[in-house]
Structure 1
Amino acid sequence: MINLLSYVCIGVGIAFWFWGTWPLIGDRSVLFKLHSLSVADTLGSMLIVFGLLLQIPREWPLLLLGIISLAIWNTVLGYVLAYCSSTEADHD
């Protein structure tokens, strides 16, 4: 049962990766594309690492650190990219 849940988490994580990549070919703004890509990438990566955690529970400290790092890094990177893409007048 744990193996099935693990494979489902990994599969859904990979699906999130592709789902987040799909809007890149659309006609929306760059910020919308970055937002959808970063959210889907973060959730997908976290689900994949969680699936690995179910497969190899003895490595839980390292995998938990990976999940926390993904959540913090991708959130901060999204804010930095949004700040850098705004106009110079908005920074004042």
Structure 2
Amino acid sequence: MINVLSYICIGVGIFFWFWGTFPLLGKRSVLFKLHSLSVADTLGSMSIIIGLLLKRPNEWPLLILGLISLAIWNTVLGYVLAYCSSSGGNYE
């Protein structure tokens, strides 16, 4: 049962990876494209890591560290992109 749940999580993660690339083909702004891509990539990567965690429970410290790193890195990157794209992001 755990193997099936693990494969489902990995499959959902791969689905999110491909689903996040479709907005790149649209005619919206670059920031919208980056946002949707980063959210889908984060969710997909986290789902894959959870699937690996179910499959390899003895590696949980490293996989939990990967989950935390993904969450923090992508949140900070989103804030940096938002700050640089706002009108208040003058560096003069």
Q: TM-score, normalised by structure 2?
A: 0.91
| Residue equivalent to 1:3 | 3
User: What is the match of residue 89 of structure 2?
Assistant: 91
Unaligned runs of 5+ in 2: none
- The ranges of structure 1 where at least 4 consecutive aligned residues each deviate by more than 3 angstroms after the TM superposition are none
RMSD: 1.2
How many percent of aligned residue pairs carry the same amino acid? Answer: 80
SS of equivalent to 1:3:
helix
Aligned twin of 2:15: 15
SS in 1 for 2:38: helix
Query: What TM-score comes out, normalization by structure 1 length?
Result: 0.91
Tell me, in whole angstroms, the C-alpha distance in 2 between the residues paired with 1:11 and 1:84: 34
Q: How many residues align?
A: 90
Structure 2 CA distance for aligned equivalents of residues 81 and 91 of structure 1: 10
Unaligned runs of 5+ in 1: none
Deviation at 1:21, TM superposition (A): 0.9
Moved more, 2-11 or 30-39: 30-39
Q: Could you tell me how far apart the structure 2 residues matched to 1:66 and 1:15 are?
A: 20
